[in-house]
Amino acid sequence: MTERSLIARALRATATVVGVSSLLASPSLAAADGKATYEASCQLCHAAGVAGAPKLEDTEGWAARIEQGMDLLVEHAIKGYQGSAGYMPPKGGNMSLSDEDVKAAVEYMVEAATATQ
Ligand code: HEC
């Protein structure tokens, strides 16, 4: 075997290890981010139902909201909206959050709201 093919084999092996470990890391990171974002920027209103915000344990209230579809829920959370219950500020008032952060937080909230059903 030539020296060149040995180097090529070593490089391929490294690439495989890196690829597998980043695949394993990503799903759990995404879930953790949604919860962390919720706790930092959303639970302020949504844990206690401040200003008309739907509480996570209000399963019936959430069921009606979830019927609108995930896309609209995420859009409302990112852009903010005035509903009949109160005012949801854009990104919960934390404009440093990315759209993906807000989406992950909504997914976490919807999961938490449906977990008790
Ligand atoms: C200042 C208080 C406040 C904060 C902070 C807040 N919300 Fe809200 N949120 C509300 C209120 C009030 C409503 C209900 C509005 C209505 O339906 O009348 C609401 C509704 C929602 C809804 C339902 C949307 C719909 O279409 O029914 C989602 C989803 C949501 N918030 C996500 C979030 C996320 C994600 C965060 C954090 C990034 C967050 N909220 C932070 C007050 C807040």
Alpha-carbon torsion (7, 12, 13, 14), positive or negative: positive
Q: Is 54 exposed, middle or buried (0-12, 13-18, 19+ CB in 10 A)?
A: buried
Q: Is residue 83 part of a domain?
A: yes
- Supply 71's token pair: 């896309």
In a domain, 18, yes or no: no
pLDDT in tens, 10-69: 666 655 555 544 444 444 455 569 999 999 999 999 999 999 999 998 999 899 999 999
Number of folded domains that form the chain: 1
* Residue 54 belongs to domain with CATH number: 1.10.760.10
In what helix (H) or strand (E) does residue 82 lie, and over which residues does it extend?
A: strand 81-82
**Within a domain: residue 21?**
no
Q: What sign does the dihedral 34-38-40-42 (CA atoms) show?
A: positive
- pLDDT value for 27: 47
- With respect to residue 36, please indicate whether it lies within any of the assigned structural domains: yes
Judge whether 4 lies within some domain: no
Distance 106 CA to ligand 1 centre (A): 9
Residues with CB under 6 A from ligand 1: 41-42, 44-46, 50-54, 65, 68, 72-73, 76-77, 83-89, 91-93, 97, 102, 105-106
| Rounded to 5°, angle at Cα 71 from 74 and 56 | 50
For residues 20 and 94, the model is more confident at 94
Q: What is the per-residue pLDDT for 115?
A: 82
Q: What distance in angstroms lies between residue 53's CA and the mean position of ligand 1's atoms?
A: 6
Distance from Cα 40 to the centre of ligand 1, integer Å: 14
For residue 42, give its domain range. Answer: 27-115
- State mean pLDDT over 66-74: 96
Q: What is the mean pLDDT of residues 77-85?
A: 96
pLDDT in the model for residue 28? 47
Residue 13 falls inside a structural domain:
no
Asked if pLDDT for residue 76 goes beyond 60, the answer is yes
Our mutation pick for probing the ligand 1 site, out of 88, 96, 101, counting the most ligand atoms within 8 A of Cβ, is: 88
Question: Is 61 domain-assigned?
Answer: yes
* DSSP per-residue letters across 48-70: TTGGGPPPTT-HHHHHHHHHT-H
pTM of the model: 0.79
Check residue 41 and give its pLDDT: 97
Question: In this structure, is residue 12 part of a structural domain?
Answer: no
